[in-house]
Amino acid sequence: MNAADHVLDPARIALAPNAIALIADGRSVSYAALLDLTNRIGNALLSLGIAPEQRVALMMNDSTELVAAYLAAIKIGAVAVALNIRMSPRELGFVLDDSRARVLIIDEEFTPISDRNAQLQADSHWQGQCQVLVARRSPGAAPGAVESFDSLVARQSATLPARSMSPDDMAFWIYTSGTTGTPKAAVHVHHDVAHAYEYTGRVLGVRPGDRLFATSKLFFAYSLGNCVFGSLALGATTLLRSGWPEPQAIAEVIDRDQPSVLFSVPTVYRNLLREGVVTPERFAGIRHCVSAGERLPVPIYERFHELSGGRYILDGIGTSETIFMFLSAPLDAPRPGSAGRPVPGVQVRLRDSDGARVRQPGIPGVLWVAMPSTADRYWNRQAQSQASFVGEWFRTGDVFMTDAEGYWYHLGRDDDMLKISGQWVSPGEVEDAVLLEDGVVDAAVVGEANDDGLTRLVLFLVTAADFDRIEPLKQRLLETLSRYKCPRDIRLVSEIPRTATGKAQRYRLRAAASSAAVRDTTQSPVAGASS
């Protein structure tokens, strides 16, 4: 088999060649045109000598070219590795060294990052082995010192049979977003893409004619799984927009391209609400609004329901290691605060710290998942692979509990859960309560050891400029939460450090909590005045 043919099946496309596969920045691209470009890029990569399972790194904005290049790499038997377009030069150097990429296709706007990386990695044993191709050059740009991707592709044939691969051969890698520091690559194989039908097709009911839009960029598993593998395999249309997902830009896509399904993350939904983007008129044509990436706070869920004219956000959870969602809110019965129920074709279990299975509702445990799209392993991370992938099961590291009706509730990461006064505390539960306070913009809770070595809660708080309700906030938390769940140490900061998917980088906050520097009034993202 070959995963690229599963997504862009030439026989299926021949039956409806003019069906729209992509609308990229307002420009429509047919399935036939996308297949043609994919084949040309595949032949271009072959002309460079790219062999099976060699890595092809892609640092490109969301575009027709990115989708085609990603599928082209898979089609010739190579391994597609899409990179975060906000990587620093050092991060780029790390990933290129870690992946041993043989080629980097990079949009011209990101070449300063690549150039700086070349300076930083001058002593690297691998950098000289990675050929750089510059794509999407500005009109009239002077020829560069490296090969132009566009001119190379233009010279190629549009005919390319897919390389026959084992279902267990590597097809693509997804680098984690790095909530704990150094990213690692989840290794995915060819058969992993077929599970798109279970969530995108069976749960969401996506069909030809639907239009799917993800505010997250395609280098994230969330967008890749639904808006490339799922959407294109199901004959639907994917909406793409270059640039970062600012609220007004998202509003423009919704107004112009009228998506049927919107995929986003809690942070972006919050921003849409704050900027007045969410209205009944704008969201009237959107059949499903989906959330993932982190737990959806109840206040955001309820505010969106109110301002959108009664629409619900369907919360769920998936990971870089699974590509697709394994828990999802039922379409007919979403429940505030819950990640829903298992997706068809997925097995889920909870296990306690001793590895024993948790069966009783209301008892937290670490979530284990078994599903066909689970990654094979982590690249160059043997110990982590052995700890996370056990037979058909993947240990997510996410702490959940269930209720008597079979709904699942995300309590945080197992390394985020805090034991206070001998009892477990979920940072997310505290953050939800804090976000209900008027004038609170963002919040994150971590644990810090006090002088006695016991863990105490530290609340990092981003507020409106005129916020002066610290003491009333403390009192309301005492009225809402058990006393041991109420932070006594509240620190005002300019922003909460987050990954590109919106996940709080708690390791940075923990470091800040233990540093005296956080108690002064500097303007770093995790610095501010202590209350």
- What pLDDT does 114 receive? 74
- Give strand pairing partners of 317: 327
The encoded tokens of residue 474 equal 């403390």
Is the four-CA dihedral 283, 284, 290, 295 of positive or negative sign? positive
C-beta separation of 372 from 167 below 8 A:
no
**What's the one-letter identity of residue 434?**
V
d(CA 133, CA 131): 7
Tokens 């089609």 sit at which residue? 75
- What pLDDT does 103 receive? 95
d(CA 403, CA 408): 7
DSSP E strands in 35-182: the ranges are 55-59, 79-82, 103-107, 131-135, 147-148, 170-175
The secondary structure of 370-412 as a DSSP string is E-TT--SEETT-HHHHHHHEETTEEEEEEEEEE-TTS-EEEEE
- What pLDDT does 452 receive? 60
Is the four-CA dihedral 31, 37, 38, 39 of positive or negative sign? positive
- What pLDDT does 521 receive? 33
SS3 174: strand
Helix (H) or strand (E) holding 441: strand 440-449
**What's the one-letter identity of residue 382?**
Q
d(CA 350, CA 359): 7
* pTM, rounded to two decimals: 0.83
The encoded tokens of residue 407 equal 């709904």
User: In 10 A of CB 467, how many CB atoms?
Assistant: 16
- What pLDDT does 522 receive? 32
Looking at the chain, the number of H-run helices and the number of E-run strands are 17, 28
Characterize 124-146 residue by residue with b for buried, 16 or more Cβ atoms within 10 angstroms of its Cβ, and e for exposed.
Answer: eeebeebebbbbbbeeeeeeeee
- What pLDDT does 199 receive? 92
Domains in the chain, please, with CATH? 3-14+28-193 (3.40.50.980), 194-412 (3.40.50.12780), 418-519 (3.30.300.30)
d(CA 377, CA 398): 18
Measured at the CA of 292, the angle between CA 291 and CA 293, to 5 degrees, comes to 140
In 3D, which of 151, 148, 152, 143 has the Cα closest to residue 133?
148
User: In 10 A of CB 453, how many CB atoms?
Assistant: 6
d(CA 258, CA 262): 10
- What pLDDT does 86 receive? 81
Pairing, β 211-214 against β 237-240: parallel
Helix (H) or strand (E) holding 10: helix 10-15
- Give strand pairing partners of 316: 328
d(CA 266, CA 272): 10
- What pLDDT does 142 receive? 54
The encoded tokens of residue 482 equal 């058990």
pLDDT tens string, the chain, 531 residues long: the values are 999 999 999 999 999 999 999 999 999 999 999 999 999 999 999 999 999 999 999 999 999 999 999 999 999 999 999 998 887 787 788 889 999 999 999 999 888 877 776 665 555 555 557 888 998 766 555 555 556 899 999 999 999 999 999 999 999 999 985 544 578 999 999 999 988 788 999 999 999 999 999 999 999 999 999 999 999 999 999 999 998 889 999 999 999 999 999 999 988 998 999 999 999 999 999 999 999 988 888 889 999 999 999 999 999 999 999 999 999 999 988 999 999 999 999 999 999 988 899 999 999 999 999 999 999 999 999 999 999 999 999 999 999 999 999 999 998 878 777 878 667 788 888 998 999 999 999 999 998 887 766 788 999 999 998 898 899 999 999 888 878 899 989 999 999 998 877 788 888 898 888 774 344 333 334 433 333
C-beta separation of 378 from 184 below 8 A:
yes
